[in-house]
Amino acid sequence: MPKKTPITVAYGDGIGPEIMRATLDIIVAAGAALELDVIEIGEKVYLAGNPSGIAPSAWESLRRTRVFLKAPITTPQGGGYKSLNVTTRTMLGLYANVRPAIAYAPFVDTKYPDMDLIIVRENEEDIYGGIEYRQTQQMTEALKLISRPGTEKIVRFAFEYARANVRKKVTCFAKDNILKLTDGLFHKIFDEIASQYPDLTSEFWIVDIGAAKLADTPEAFDVLVLPNLYGDILSDVAAQIAGSVGLAGSANIGDVAAMFEAIHGSAPRRANQNLANPSGLLQGAILMLAHIGQTDVANTVQNAWLRTIEDGIHTYDIYKEGSSKEKVGTKEFAQAVVARLGQKPAQLRPASYRPSGSTNVVAARTKEASPERKALVGVDVYLDWTKGRPDELGAGLRPLGADRMRLQAVFNRGTVVWPNGLPETFCTDHWRARYLGNDGMTLENRDIIALLERIGAAGYDYIKTEHLYTFDGIPGFSAGPA
């Protein structure tokens, strides 16, 4: 008897308990060696007054087993409830979200029968810190954070994943034609790391045209690595066009822990009717089996599941008159998969998880580079101002640079409005004044404090500052006027 791997299991809400029972029945029948530790998460926990939907005692289980098979949960209506998924990802450091988007044509309807794509989405950075501000009557702001170590981890993971799972190409999408520093860093690191994997093809697309290509010709892609927001959006697009939203599983991987789930929610209207399709959670469980090294079981389950789909034994959501053979409930579907354990699909590509493959790749860390020389060369001062025209603002702010700084430009929503602004430019109440050190002079924090005092004393309402640094002489801030 192989050694049992301890895993934490949550049955969730809505259809969760039914699809979890079906999933566990199948994988246990296939010989999965698991020791289950069941925890409570979701609606009941939220409503018992725990805003994160998970009790403190459940963390002990997760920290012990480090493997979490999670059914979907219902987030109660109304404010104040934190996303359990976001909490779990950040608390356990699950930086990689792996989402296969695979077509099962001709057995499941899809416009793209050859689609077989893995999306690797960065899970911890970008706008998902949810750091937002309202700064004036008219303006709100969100922070997008992209770090070198965060990007190195996810890009390396994508290449290691591709190699371990015998994929051929890794593609990156970002918007670095506009976001030159944040998405620019993502692109730069992608190129750096791609050069260390000469056995794999690599390519980069601007996300807008890349997304269009993905929606039009998804079979052109193999493994896609994306910053958090683009990954969030495009992994749903990919699952939808593959025809597999109800069939898709997902893995969230970190260095010490991992979580596996279906991509759909708790579908409360379908609950307790033996209707729901357990395939999404089963796909999550298969990724889990491969991750914990039970690759033979993963392959056995996947092959039996593919065979069941081929045999036309379908739950209501994928049942189609003519091509499907039998419409079954959750339990009967699970029984049909169990009955096919040991069989292989006749047409669909059989499973090929390998012991060293799956999601169980640890992205080696890049060695710390020596730090670049950082110099403070200016400051952007944000102002709440409604008292006149941009040239009046520029004229008022210009002398305040005093002897150590000069006002280079005033911007409104990213557009230069002083000097030489156009009267046509629409302006809000949110302004940005860029001061640079005179004659390239390096500044100190006290220069900025003195500047703010002068600005405040002149009657302007400054609402935020952003220091302007160079790193080894290269500006670490978006460009001013040409």
Residues forming contacts to ligand NAD in the complex (CB under 6 A) are 15, 19, 72-75, 85, 246, 261, 264-270, 276-277, 280, 317
| Residues 6 or more apart in contact with residue 109 via CB below 8 angstroms | 243, 318, 320
Q: In whole angstroms, how close is the CB of 153 to ligand NAD at the nearest point?
A: 23
68 strand-pairing partners: 8, 259
Q: How far is CA 51 from CA 16, 56, 80, 224, 227, in A?
A: 20, 11, 7, 34, 28
CB of 234 to ligand NAD, least distance (A): 17
Whole-angstrom distance, CA of residue 442 vs CA of residue 379:
11
CA dist., res. 96 & res. 235, Å (int): 13
Element spanning 297, H or E: helix 295-310
Cβ proximity to ligand NAD, 269 vs 446, nearer residue: 269
- Token representation of residue 10: 């949550």
Residues 6+ apart with CB under 8 A from 132: 140, 141, 142, 143
The H helix count followed by the E strand count for the chain is: 13, 20
Rounded Cα distance, 246 and 6, in Å: 27
Closer CB to ligand NAD, 73 or 336, in the complex:
73
CB-nearer residue toward ligand NAD: 129 or 268: 268
- State the nearest-atom distance from the C-beta of 59 to ligand NAD, in Å: 18
CB of 107 to ligand NAD, least distance (A): 16
Report the residue number, 205 or 316, with the smaller CB distance to ligand NAD. 316
Please compute, for residue 414, the number of CA atoms within 13 A of its CA located in the half-sphere on the CB side: 5
Shortest separation between residue 13's beta carbon and ligand NAD, angstroms? 7
Smallest distance, Å, CB 332 to ligand NAD? 14
Nearer to ligand NAD, 65 or 277 (CB): 277
Compare residues 15 and 162 and give the one whose CB is closer to ligand NAD.
Answer: 15
* Cβ-based nearer residue to ligand NAD, 277 or 299: 277
Residue 159 has a CB neighbour count (10 Å cut-off) of: 24
CB of 72 to ligand NAD, least distance (A): 4
Q: Which residue is nearest to ligand NAD (CB)?
A: 265
Contact 228, 99 (CB under 8 A): no
Closest separation in Å from C-beta 133 to ligand NAD? 26
Q: Which is nearer to ligand NAD, 248 or 443 (CB)?
A: 248
Tell me which residue of 331, 281, 302, 252 sits closest to 71, measured CA to CA: 281
